[in-house]
Each structure stands twice: as C-alpha cells, then as structure tokens.
C-alpha cells in the first residue's frame, strides 16, 4: 500500500500535459490588481513629475541669469534735422524728445524729435557777451560758459511737462542765465579757454584756464553762499587764487574740478596730469603723473562720482586712473587701475553716464560704449556718418550724434546689466578707492555714485569654510558614535540613544542659530583656550582609557556587562574635560599675552590672535558656526551611518568572532568595509545639510561677506599672507563669513525684480546648485564603486 501524505494537494482530473489549476488562495482579486496598476502609474507619473520640476527650476534659473551675460544694444532710432553749426554744443532732455544746440550766441535752439518748428529761446546774457568756452553739465541741467573778458557763469536749462487731454505730454523748455562772475580782479582781458565748477554745499569752486598775452594761466575762484532763515542768499566771491606758478612752466590744456570742491586736475601740453589739492586755504601740487608714459593726452574727464579719471590719447588708448591710498602711503593719489582695448583712430569725444560707471568714447567713424568697473567694452559701433560730437541723456538710454551736416542721429541704448560679467562675478576687480584688485561683495550703498561689487568668490569661500568647519566637528563625533552605538553599546541603551539622536535632527535651524548668536558666541568669546583644551582632552582621554581598558585582564573586564563600559569611562572623560575648561585661563596667562599700545601686557586671546597672526578676531566666527552647524549635521550623519552599520549580516560578524577576532577587529575588517557605501552616503547627506544651511549661518557669523586672503590659494594668487602664517590666512577660524544660501535669504526679498542684483542672486543659487550637484555626482560614483567592491555574493 503506497504511503499517504496528509499535506499533499488533492488529486485532480486534469489530462496529462494540461496546466494544473491555481489554488483559490493564490488568486489575486481584480480590485487588488487595479490598485496595483494605479500605484505603479502613480509612481511613474510622480517620478517623471519630479524630474520635470527639477529641470523646470533649472530652466527658470537659467532664464533669470541669461540677461547678465548679454552685451549692450545700440541702434539708430531717428535722424533729427537739428541744423546745428559746426562746433555747437548739443544736449538731450531726459526723454530725448527735445534735443537742443548752443552755438555760443544768444539763443538756445530746441528741435522736437517728432518734427515741428524749432524753438529759439534767448539765453538772457547781456548784449555783446562773447563766449569763448562752454561745457554741458547734464546732471545739473546747465551749461557752463566762459567769456572773452574773463567771466564765468551758467545757463540753466529746465523742462516742464504739460498734459493736454489724453494725449502725450507736451514738453516746454526754459532757459535762464545766471549773473557772470569775473575770475580776476584786474581788468586785463583774459579770455577763458576752459573751465569747470563744483558745488559741495558749503564749498563752491570755479577753476579756469585763461589766456593772457599768449600765455595760458590757471586760476581758481572760491564762492560763498550765505544762508538765513529765509533760505539761500546771494552767492559771493570768497577768494581768488592764481596757480600758474605751480605749473612749473608747462601750459595747461584742460581743467577738472572734483565734486568735493577742494581739488582739481589739469592736463598739460607735456602729456602730464597735475593733481592739486587745497589744504588750509592753500593750494599745493600733490601729484604729477603721465597717463601714457610721456605721450600726448587728447583729453581727460571724470567718471560718474568724480573719483576716477578717464584719459585718452590720439592713438585710441583709454586708461582709467582712480584715487586710492597706496599700500604704505598716507594720502589718496591717482593710480592706473584700468586699461581698455583701443579703438581705431584718435578719440575726439567723451560722454559719461549719470547713472553708473558707463561712458562713451569715439571719433568720426567709430564709438565704444564701455563700463569702467569691469574694464569691458559693452558695445562697439561703426557709424555710417561722420560724427563731430555726441550727447547723452540723463538716463543713459539715448545717444545723440551730431554729424558734419548739422543733423542729429538719435540712437537708442539698452544695457540693463553693464556691471555683470564673468570677470565681475569670479575675477578680481580693481574697485574705486581700493589699493589693489579684490574679490568683494557689496551689492548696495547709500549713494548713487557707488559701483556695485558683485564677486561671488567671497560667498563661495564662505560656503566652503562653513561646511568644512561643520564637517570637521560633526563627522568624527557622528561616525564614532554610530560605530559605538551599533557594535558596542548595550541593546537596551541603543533603544534610547537612537531615537534621541533622530529627535535632535528635527530641531529647527532658527532655534540653533538663536542659541549660537545669543548664548554660544558670548560664552566662548573669551574662553578660546578652555575650548581648545576641552576639544583636545576628550579624544585623548577616550583613547587612553580605551587602551587601558583593553589591556586589563578578562577577569576584570567581564565584571561589567557587555556594552556598559561607558559607565566607567565617561565620568573620567567628563572630569578631564572639566579640568581642561578650568585650566584655560592658566594657559591663556602663560602663552596668549598681548602687548598694548602703552606697553602693558594683557592675557587675552582675543587681543593676542590679531597681533600674532595678523588676522582678525570676531565674536561671531567660524568656530561658532562649526559647533552649532555641526550639532545640526551630527544627527543626520549618525542616523544613516548607524543604520548602515547595523544592517551588516550577523552571520559575517559571528563568523569573524568564531575565528578569534576581537570586537574591534570585526568592526575594522568586516563591518566598516561592508557598510562603507552607506557611511559615504551619510557623509554626503550631511554635507548637503551643511552647505545648504541658512539660518544658523545668518545668525551666528555676523553675515559678513569678507574673504581676507581666503580664496587666493584656490583662485590663483598665492601671495605672502597678512601675518606670520600665510596659509592660515586662507581659512581664519576666528572671523565671520557669509554663505551663498545666507546671502540669497538676506538680500533676495529686497532686490528689485529684474535688476542686476536680483539676477546675480539667482546666479549664486545656480553656483550653489552646481557645487552640490557635482559633489553628489562624484559621491554617487564613488559609493557605487564601494558597493561593488564590498558587496556580498
């Protein structure tokens, strides 16, 4: 009789070769299948949606920053029959709808751009006045004039819009001449060849070049305007000075007065520029320099802000000289800071923008729109006519070229982002007032003549510094804690430690930043030696105690349950850390003594550090950020690394222990290699948490975009450093910083939409995205290699 098997399936009546029917308990219901298909579709759709969203964000950022790298657009708009005589001064109103010319007579002629009869308005000058010099000041809306009898003054030009019905406003010009003032007290005829004027409020200064008996003389006239309860009174002459004796025999060609009304510049026929400064009512020649190494100077004019001088020569060269205090000097002098690509032919005209550091130079056949800060030519235009002079409106949106036939060619200019460019964002730029080129971020200021400083390098360095110090603090603690918790700690304690660390990861960044700024930074400001001793004492004491514990006989070690050794070692470590904290002031008095100005000595690390290293010390510094941002990174790295270590198959660790390996040998040779891919993932996620941190950095570092000498090693300038430790200058632990993410959070809400500042912040976001993308991609490649190398077959 064949044996019976109670668990065997019942016999079926199916014919041989036919498939057996599936038991009912294995048949999936149609609802489950439909739900499974729905979830599969949802997952696929969600994944595609995430990819589309990421690429959409990336495309949006690219669209925002693309205009930053576009050049200027200069196109001819209209030709106006101005009929201006040769040598006339031309100008544009704010809207470029009513250009004018002045030929030195007694009328100013306005010609509507849209056609119509010209308007001739009298200047109001006395009959018989012969004008020998004239200059247009579009910023103040006036013309400076000099006469054949040695007098100077202004012709004011103003506009008023009148609305009639629903049509476009009608612009009505007005002209008014101020009383002329004599430059000299004696009645000797002295025609004015050139002149300039500056009004600094309480200081007003006229400077002029006059020709007397075939010799050119330089004279100045200081003005004073009395003020009363009724407002400003009449302008009176305070004093006159003749500076011809300070010229040292050279003949002046052009004079420029600085906006502060206490200095002036003179170009000479010897190819020199003389810089005069008035101090205690006495004029002195402060500097003499040759812009083109002894070659002739065609002209020189101020940039907007009147801190930089644009010089050009007959060969088309353009150079900028700015005022700054040279290294080792004590007074501001002019120095060469920029040089532009020359244009073909001599430069015959120059116009500076009244809104930024843009300016236009050119000749009869070509003009170049330049931007001074970045030393870039924004647009070069070949002119289809022969240009004699040029005018620029107050908005720098229109150019008016006067040709040899008296017609005015009106060009439209579109250059919304002249201060942008690769050099501005990632290169060293020589800004006004600086003694050398620098990486600098300063997007706004209180004055209109300020030039934006938009270098992203200090922000990149700040991001790298904050991430580096946070990871230096967090990684050793997190990894060692993960190893100990997963491999050595008692299971009952592990059930407490692991959830506690996961709860730490949920702490808001703003709370950590608040604690760092108001509690941690003041606490450790004058306790740096104590902090250093604690940092050194904890790992050293742990290593020594662990080594001693491992050398004890097994009889004594077995008296403590496995995984509870910390009950014996931790109190000793805490005691040594407390002793290190208390010994900090003793170490400070012994080694960190600063010498004061009066010769006294003070034991203060905050004073000793700048004296010894030449680097600054700030209360809110990188050490504070490293501690607090590391505190935010530790739970992230710990949780993921501990999971990777705990998921190593127990069979492998048990086999190693069975072969006689100690617990540490098992961890070092088996657990760590197998879990290396997961540990590396933990480090990368922790890195992403650190590099993208915002609130802790904003609140704990002072949020200052300073770089000191940091970044020179990375960006190409090795230098010699500021103090006794050149390389330490690059990563000063005790100064503030600003990161890319913090900069975006602080400045984006106040940036005007579509402005250069606004788009540059998006560029910073793209740089931050690129940094994390490249590092995460490399990390993923390395993680896959580690996974393949140590995978379990």
For 734-766, what is each residue's pLDDT tens digit?
A: 888 888 998 998 899 989 999 999 999 999 999
Which uninterrupted H or E stretch holds 41?
helix 30-65
Average pLDDT of every residue of the chain: 86
If 0-12 CB within 10 Å is exposed, 13-18 middle and 19+ buried, where does residue 335 land?
middle
Domains along the sequence of the chain with CATH:
1-69 (no CATH), 73-426 (2.130.10.10), 457-525+619-792 (1.10.3720.10), 527-581 (no CATH)
**Looking at residue 248, what is its pLDDT?**
85
pTM: 0.84
Region 94-119: what's the mean pLDDT?
90
Residue pair 372/338 in contact (Cβ under 8 Å)? The answer is yes
Q: Which of 204, 184, 183 is nearest to 195 (CA)?
A: 183
So what's the pLDDT on residue 570?
A: 86
CA 257-259-260 angle, to 5 degrees, is: 100
pLDDT at 792: 66
Stretch 316-330: mean pLDDT, rounded? 92
- The model's confidence at residue 723, banded by pLDDT at 50, 70 and 90, is very low
| Cα 739 from Cα 730, distance rounded (Å) | 16
Please report, for the chain, how many H helices and E strands are present, in that order: 19, 33
Average pLDDT over residues 317-330: 92
Query: In the predicted model, is pLDDT for residue 652 greater than 90?
Result: no
Half-sphere exposure of 205 (CA within 13 A, CB side): 22
- DSSP alpha helices (H): ranges in 201-280? none
- Whether the per-residue pLDDT at 634 is higher than 60: the answer is yes
| Positive or negative torsion for Cα 249, 253, 255, 256 | negative
**3-state SS string over 607-627?**
HHHHHHHCCCCCCCCHHHHHH
Taking the C-alpha atoms of residue 549 and residue 563, their distance in angstroms, rounded to an integer, is 13
pLDDT (average), residues 234-241: 85
Asked if residue 720 has pLDDT above 60, the reply is no
pLDDT at 725 over 60: no
87 pLDDT above the threshold of 90: no
More confident call, 297 vs 161: 297
Q: What percent of the chain has pLDDT over 70?
A: 91
Model confidence at 376: pLDDT above 90: yes
Average pLDDT of span 165-175: 80
**Virtual CA dihedral for 38, 43, 49, 54, nearest 10 degrees?**
170
pLDDT of residue 232: 66
List, as one string, the DSSP characters of 123-180: --PPTT--EEEEEEETTTTEEEEEETTSEEEEEEEEEEEE--TTSPPEEEEEEEEPPP
Beta strands in 364-407 (DSSP E): 366-371, 376-382, 387-392, 398-403
**Residue 373 near residue 429, CB atoms below 8 Å:** yes
Q: Are the beta carbons of 360 and 396 closer than 8 angstroms?
A: no
Confidence (pLDDT) at 7: 52
pLDDT of residue 650: 87
**Cα 669-671-674 angle, rounded to 5 deg:** 95
Structural element, H or E, at residue 570? helix 566-591
pLDDT, mean of residues 226-232:
66
Q: What number is the average pLDDT over the span 188-197?
A: 90
- Asked if residue 114 lies in contact with residue 103, where contact means CB atoms within 8 angstroms, the answer is no
Q: Could you tell me which residue, 684 or 704, shows the higher pLDDT?
A: 684
Q: What is the mean pLDDT of residues 53-68?
A: 92
Q: For residues 557 and 52, which has the higher predicted lDDT (pLDDT)?
A: 52
More confident site: 43 or 548: 43
Of the pLDDT bands very low, low, confident and very high (cuts 50, 70, 90), residue 311 is very high
Query: Which residues are registered as beta bridge partners of 308?
Result: 322
pLDDT in tens, 461-500: 888 888 899 999 999 999 999 999 988 888 888 888 888 8
pLDDT digits (tens, 9 = 90+) for 21-49: 667 667 778 888 889 899 999 999 999 99
How far apart, in whole angstroms, are the C-alpha atoms of residue 277 and residue 454? 33
Q: What percent of the chain has pLDDT over 90?
A: 43
Distance CA 536, CA 528 (A): 12
The Cα–Cα gap between 215 and 252 comes to 10
Quick one: which of 771, 731, 747 has its CA closest to 694? 747
């Amino acid at each position: 009789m064949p044996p019976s098997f109670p668990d065997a399936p019942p016999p079926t009546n199916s014919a041989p070769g036919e498939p057996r029917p599936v038991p009912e308990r294995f048949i999936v219901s149609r609802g489950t299948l439909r739900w499974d298909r729905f979830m599969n579709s949802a997952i696929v759709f969600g994944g595609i949606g995430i990819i589309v969203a990421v690429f959409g964000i990336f495309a949006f950022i690219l669209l925002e920053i693309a205009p930053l790298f576009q050049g200027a657009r200069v196109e001819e708009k209209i030709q106006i029959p101005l009929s201006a005589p040769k040598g006339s001064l031309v100008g544009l109103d704010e809207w470029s709808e009513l250009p004018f010319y002045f030929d030195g007579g007694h009328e100013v002629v306005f010609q509507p751009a849209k056609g119509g009869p010209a308007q001739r308005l009298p200047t109001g000058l006395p009959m018989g006045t012969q004008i020998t010099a004239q200059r247009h000041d579009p910023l103040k809306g006036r013309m400076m004039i000099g006469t054949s009898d040695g007098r100077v003054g202004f012709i004011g030009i103003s506009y008023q819009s009148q609305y009639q019905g629903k049509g476009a406003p009608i612009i009505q010009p007005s002209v008014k001449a101020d009383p002329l003032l004599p430059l000299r007290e004696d009645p000797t005829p002295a025609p004015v060849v050139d002149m300039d004027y500056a009004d600094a409020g309480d200081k007003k200064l006229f400077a002029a070049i006059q020709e007397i008996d075939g010799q050119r003389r330089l004279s100045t006239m200081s003005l004073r305007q009395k003020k009363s309860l009724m407002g400003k009174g009449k302008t009176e002459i305070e004093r006159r000075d003749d500076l011809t004796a300070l010229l040292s025999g050279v003949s002046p060609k052009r004079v420029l007065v600085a906006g502060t009304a206490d200095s002036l510049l003179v170009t000479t026929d010897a190819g020199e520029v003389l810089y005069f400064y008035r101090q205690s009512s006495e004029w002195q020649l402060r500097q003499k320099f040759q812009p083109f190494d002894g070659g002739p100077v065609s002209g020189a004019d101020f940039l907007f802000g009147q801190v930089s001088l644009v010089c050009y020569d007959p060969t088309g060269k353009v150079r900028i000289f700015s005022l700054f205090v040279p290294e080792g000097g004590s007074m501001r002098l002019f120095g060469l800071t920029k040089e532009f690509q020359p244009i073909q032919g001599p430069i015959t005209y120059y116009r500076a923008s009244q809104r930024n550091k843009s300016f236009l130079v050119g000749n009869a056949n070509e003009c170049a729109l330049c931007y001074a800060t970045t030393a870039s030519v924004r647009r070069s235009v070949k002119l289809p006519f022969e240009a004699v002079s040029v005018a620029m409106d107050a908005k720098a949106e229109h150019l008016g070229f006067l040709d040899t036939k008296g017609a005015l060619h009106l060009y439209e200019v579109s250059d919304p982002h002249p201060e942008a460019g690769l050099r501005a964002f990632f290169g060293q730029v020589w800004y006004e007032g600086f003694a050398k080129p620098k990486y600098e971020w300063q997007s706004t200021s209180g004055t209109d003549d300020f030039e934006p400083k938009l270098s992203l390098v200090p922000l990149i360095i700040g991001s790298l510094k904050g991430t580096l110090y946070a990871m230096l603090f967090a990684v050793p603690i997190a990894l060692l804690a993960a190893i100990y918790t997963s491999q050595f700690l008692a299971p009952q304690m592990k059930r407490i430690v692991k959830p506690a660390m996961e709860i730490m990861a949920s702490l808001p960044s703003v709370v950590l930043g608040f604690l760092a700024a108001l509690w941690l930074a003041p606490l450790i400001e004058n306790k740096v030696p104590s902090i250093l001793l604690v940092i050194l004492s904890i790992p050293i004491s742990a290593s020594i105690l662990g080594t001693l514990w491992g050398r004890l006989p097994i009889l004594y070690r077995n008296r403590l349950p496995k995984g509870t050794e910390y009950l014996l070692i931790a109190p000793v470590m805490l005691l040594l850390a407390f002793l290190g904290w208390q010994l900090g002031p003793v170490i400070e008095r012994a080694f960190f003594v600063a010498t004061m100005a009066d010769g006294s000595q003070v034991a203060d690390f905050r004073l000793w550090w700048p004296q010894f290293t030449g680097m600054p010390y700030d209360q809110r510094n990188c050490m504070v950020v490293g501690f607090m941002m590391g505190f935010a990174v530790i739970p992230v790295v710990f949780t993921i690394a501990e999971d990777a270590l705990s998921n190593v198959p127990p069979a492998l660790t048990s086999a190693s222990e069975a072969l006689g390996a100690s617990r540490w040998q098992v961890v070092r040779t088996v657990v760590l290699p197998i879990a290396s891919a997961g540990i590396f993932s933990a480090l990368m996620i922790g890195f992403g948490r650190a590099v993208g941190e915002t609130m802790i950095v904003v609140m704990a570092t002072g949020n200052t975009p300073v770089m000191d000498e940091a970044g020179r090693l990375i960006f190409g300038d090795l230098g010699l450093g500021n103090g006794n430790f050149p390389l330490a200058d690059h990563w000063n632990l005790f100064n503030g910083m600003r990161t890319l993410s913090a900069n975006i959070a602080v400045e984006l809400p106040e940036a005007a939409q579509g402005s250069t500042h606004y788009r540059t912040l998006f560029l910073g976001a793209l740089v931050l995205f690129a940094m994390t993308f490249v590092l995460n991609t490399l990390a993923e490649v390395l993680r896959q290699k580690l996974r393949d190398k140590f995978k379990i077959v």
